[in-house]
Amino acid sequence: MPAAAWLFFPWYAQSQVDRLLEGKPFHVEVSGLGLPGFTGVGFRSIKVRFITPPDDCSDAATYTLSLTNGLLSWHVENPDTSAARSLLPNAINAAFTVEADSMKVKPDPEAFTFCDRKPRITVNMELSRKNGFTLSLRPLSAIYNIDGATVTSEKLRLEEVSFKVRLNAGEYWQQGMDTLRVAKLFSDGVPSSVSNFKALFGSKRDPLKPCTLTLTGCSVELFHWKALSQRIDYDLKEKKSRFTLSLAEIPLAELPWFNRGGINTPSATGRVSGFIPIEFQDSTVLVRNALVIAGKGTRIISYTKEKKPLLSLDLGVGELLNKLNARVTLSSRGNKLSGLAMSNLSATLLGGTVTSTPVSFDQSENTTILTLKLDKIRVLDRVRLHGDFKGSLNGTVSGTIPLTIEQKGLSIRNAHLRSSGGGTITVAPPSKRQSTSERIFGPQKPDADYTFNEPDLVFSRLFNGNTTIRFSMKNLLRKTEGGELLLLSPKGTLSLGYDRLNPGIVSLSDFSAEIFGGSIALHHIDYDMQKKEGETELQLDNIPLQKLLDLQGTKKLYATGTVRGSIPVKMKNEVFEITKGGMTAEQSGQIIYVTTPEERAAANQGLRTTYEALSNFLYVQLLSSINMAPDGKSAITIQLKGTNPDFQSGRSIELNLNVEQNLLDLMRSLSISSNVEQIITEKALKMQKK
């Protein structure tokens, strides 16, 4: 009979298991059993389905545990020394150990899947005999060392999960405190920036909070820097998690948005830290009053193509982002994560506020659209210019930024930013060493100060990087050693990166401004920043003639009336030339040239006649042409028609004037005296040092 029982064990084992577990809250199915040995039996699969009982905190739940290709072994303790035997006759303790190639656990409905390779589970049982040969089982304890398991939930996958399970009946099957580790997190098969999660976990609950599970001493790495949380509370009844994520000092240069792949040109410096209170319930994440703090030396840097700093944004020290609030709701389709929606996004940033329209992301559409609203962000004060540019800006920035985010990149459509402030930008390219004579009569310093007020920008950016900026401002003042040029209400459109073959071309179109009471405009110019060249045509309209004469440095010539015209300009490096420019008077006017009796007496007859004609010349026609070479040599022709009521009874007069001069030298001469004074002062200081 024992031999027959041993031989036919694989066929009747299932019925014995069913009889043994009758009335228990779990069911076991075995298949592919081998012939048992004295200490164990092999199997192809074991499937255990069990139900956790409901309580005041949670409903009943069904789980299925599957083991494949394993060995069930047992060890029976000496019944003479068994504590169970002294309490219950015919009772013995046995340790059952299951080892398998793999194990899988799934709840119903399938919210997650737990998988482990080469699991080893040991369960201590009390076996007793009730009536005759009927056996009864009572579990006493269970041990399972999880090491390298995987948990999958929709498109999220946790890898290398480790935890030591220790359960026993004496402690009402409550898990003691142990360290839970998750080494890697994947999203849709792609490694995420979250890794190396660690926390202390035990299933024993606080009597004052019987429905709360707590993880303590939590830490996680985000983008290779560590974030901490003292505790994470999970309410079983409300199914809500609460915790505050503490961000340690994070090097900005290590974040993916600023990582340039090299330490020589970091896009950001310094560190930030902060606190992010989070609530999670019913697929909704709430962020309440989060805080981000900037450390000393924290700034964002932009570079030229030559990897030289162009401008930086100094984030200061202290609160950078405060009162950050947001609601993020995860959506699913067919038990799969399909997208998310974000609403109620708001925060204070650099003294102002930023809010966002509700935004949703659907994986099927793969497009996210939102609009950020900025109100009085004090960002201009924090901008620093580098290289050939210096200066200071001030004021707040307000406006809206519509964003479209897709896999292929980021686009901006008709963002509108404005400021009531302004500032001064100095363009100061390095100057070459000059001799004394060159410094007196040579080229001016190329330094120029540009002061602007109340800028207003509307800009768009395509996915390929093409950027268009429509700008306007209250005024723009250009100041050099040669003088000042004030433009009122300048506006125009800048285009960058539109030429794929030559990305260094910057286009300016539809530019206009008020100048000298008139206006100046240009239709279009393409400026090649690599070759430093461009060509355009300036349109002048309603320019007072007296203003043009003042630019020539004249002291004795006065005129009324306005002119209009077009000035073709070619730029190359730091010089420009004018070819076939022309101007004409828009209406009649008056020209008065003041001379002294001594000047008239010293002049020849022809020049004296010209002096007299221009003493009170009423012109009805004024035509002018101008040409200027790159070295400044210019030729100006002026044709005048009109009368002088005080000269030759007011007969008609035609005057043709040709002026040849160097306009650049003329501008330089305005600052000769100051240059001489500077040179004399410098030489005197050198003599004192000797």
Which residue reads 């730091």 in tokens? 574
Those residues with Cβ within 8 angstroms of residue 171's Cβ, 6 or more apart along the chain or in another chain: 204
Q: What is the pTM of this model?
A: 0.68
Question: Does the pLDDT of residue 623 top 80, yes or no?
Answer: yes
User: Which pLDDT belongs to residue 519?
Assistant: 92
Question: Does the pLDDT of residue 20 top 80, yes or no?
Answer: no
User: Which pLDDT belongs to residue 672?
Assistant: 35
Those residues with Cβ within 8 angstroms of residue 301's Cβ, 6 or more apart along the chain or in another chain: 266, 267, 268, 269, 309, 311, 312, 313
d(CA 689, CA 8): 115
Q: CA 672: distance to chain centroid?
A: 50
Per the CB < 8 A criterion, the answer to whether 280 and 340 are in contact is no
More confident residue, 339 or 600: 600
**Of the candidates 370, 490, 531, 388, which has an alpha carbon nearest to the alpha carbon of residue 448?**
388
User: Which pLDDT belongs to residue 574?
Assistant: 66
Q: For the ranges 267-276, 300-309, 440-449, which has the lowest average pLDDT?
A: 440-449
User: Which pLDDT belongs to residue 677?
Assistant: 36
Q: For the ranges 388-397, 428-437, 525-534, 568-577, which has the lowest average pLDDT?
A: 428-437
The tokens for 559 are: 């005129």
Per the CB < 8 A criterion, the answer to whether 462 and 411 are in contact is yes
User: Which pLDDT belongs to residue 484?
Assistant: 77
Task: Select, from the ranges 215-229, 513-527, 561-575, the one with the highest average predicted confidence (pLDDT).
Answer: 513-527
**Of the candidates 53, 46, 19, 37, which has an alpha carbon nearest to the alpha carbon of residue 135?**
19
Arithmetic mean of pLDDT, 254-264: 59
More confident residue, 6 or 53: 53
Those residues with Cβ within 8 angstroms of residue 178's Cβ, 6 or more apart along the chain or in another chain: 163, 164, 166, 200, 201, 202
- Note the pLDDT tens digit of each residue in 283-298: 788 999 999 998 888 8
Indicate the SS3 state at residue 468. strand
Residue 673 binned pLDDT confidence (cut-offs 50, 70, 90)? very low
**For the CA atoms of 103, 107, 111, 114, what is the dihedral angle to 10 degrees?**
-10
| Gyration radius of the chain's alpha carbons | 43
Domain boundaries, the chain: 2-153, 532-670
Residue 436 binned pLDDT confidence (cut-offs 50, 70, 90)? very low
Question: Does the pLDDT of residue 125 top 50, yes or no?
Answer: yes
Arithmetic mean of pLDDT, 664-685: 41
d(CA 664, CA 485): 16
User: Which pLDDT belongs to residue 264?
Assistant: 58
Arithmetic mean of pLDDT, 43-58: 87
**Of the candidates 345, 426, 422, which has an alpha carbon nearest to the alpha carbon of residue 385?**
426
User: Which pLDDT belongs to residue 79?
Assistant: 53
Those residues with Cβ within 8 angstroms of residue 276's Cβ, 6 or more apart along the chain or in another chain: 244, 245, 247, 287, 290, 291, 324
109 φ/ψ sector (left φ>0, alpha ψ -120 to 50, else beta): beta
List, as own/partner pairs, every contact residues 418-421 make where C-beta atoms lie below 8 angstroms and the sequence separation is at least 24, other chains included.
Answer: 418/454, 418/455, 418/456, 418/457, 419/380, 419/395, 419/454, 419/455, 419/456, 420/395, 420/396, 420/454, 421/380, 421/393, 421/394, 421/395, 421/396, 421/453, 421/454
Indicate the SS3 state at residue 682. helix
User: Which pLDDT belongs to residue 284?
Assistant: 84
Question: Does the pLDDT of residue 207 top 90, yes or no?
Answer: no
Question: Does the pLDDT of residue 674 top 60, yes or no?
Answer: no
**Of the candidates 75, 76, 93, 94, which has an alpha carbon nearest to the alpha carbon of residue 84?**
93
Those residues with Cβ within 8 angstroms of residue 128's Cβ, 6 or more apart along the chain or in another chain: 84, 88, 90, 91, 92, 135, 136, 138
User: Which pLDDT belongs to residue 429?
Assistant: 62
Arithmetic mean of pLDDT, 521-528: 89
d(CA 233, CA 241): 5
More confident residue, 540 or 87: 540
Residue 5 binned pLDDT confidence (cut-offs 50, 70, 90)? low
Arithmetic mean of pLDDT, 641-646: 92
645 φ/ψ sector (left φ>0, alpha ψ -120 to 50, else beta): alpha
Question: Does the pLDDT of residue 23 top 80, yes or no?
Answer: no
Arithmetic mean of pLDDT, 318-339: 75
Q: For the ranges 65-69, 167-171, 343-347, 631-635, which has the lowest average pLDDT?
A: 631-635
Q: How many helices (H) and strands (E) does the chain have?
A: 9, 43
User: Which pLDDT belongs to residue 689?
Assistant: 45
Percent residues over pLDDT 90 in the chain: 29
Q: Mean pLDDT for the chain?
A: 81
Question: Does the pLDDT of residue 217 top 50, yes or no?
Answer: yes
The tokens for 686 are: 């050198």
Residue 368 binned pLDDT confidence (cut-offs 50, 70, 90)? confident
- Note the pLDDT tens digit of each residue in 158-182: 999 999 999 998 888 888 899 999 9
More confident residue, 385 or 331: 385
More confident residue, 91 or 665: 91
* Burial (0-12, 13-18, 19+ Cβ within 10 Å), 558: middle
Question: Does the pLDDT of residue 95 top 70, yes or no?
Answer: yes
Percent residues over pLDDT 70 in the chain: 82
Per the CB < 8 A criterion, the answer to whether 667 and 482 are in contact is yes
d(CA 592, CA 552): 16
More confident residue, 333 or 234: 234
E runs forming strands in 223-295 = 225-235, 240-251, 268-269, 271-281, 284-294
Question: Does the pLDDT of residue 398 top 90, yes or no?
Answer: yes
Cis peptide bond upstream of 109, omega within 30: yes
d(CA 504, CA 497): 7
Question: Does the pLDDT of residue 333 top 90, yes or no?
Answer: no
Residue 430 binned pLDDT confidence (cut-offs 50, 70, 90)? low
User: Which pLDDT belongs to residue 686?
Assistant: 44
Which residue reads 């099927």 in tokens? 364
Question: Does the pLDDT of residue 130 top 80, yes or no?
Answer: no
User: Which pLDDT belongs to residue 552?
Assistant: 65
Which residue reads 């974040």 in tokens? 255
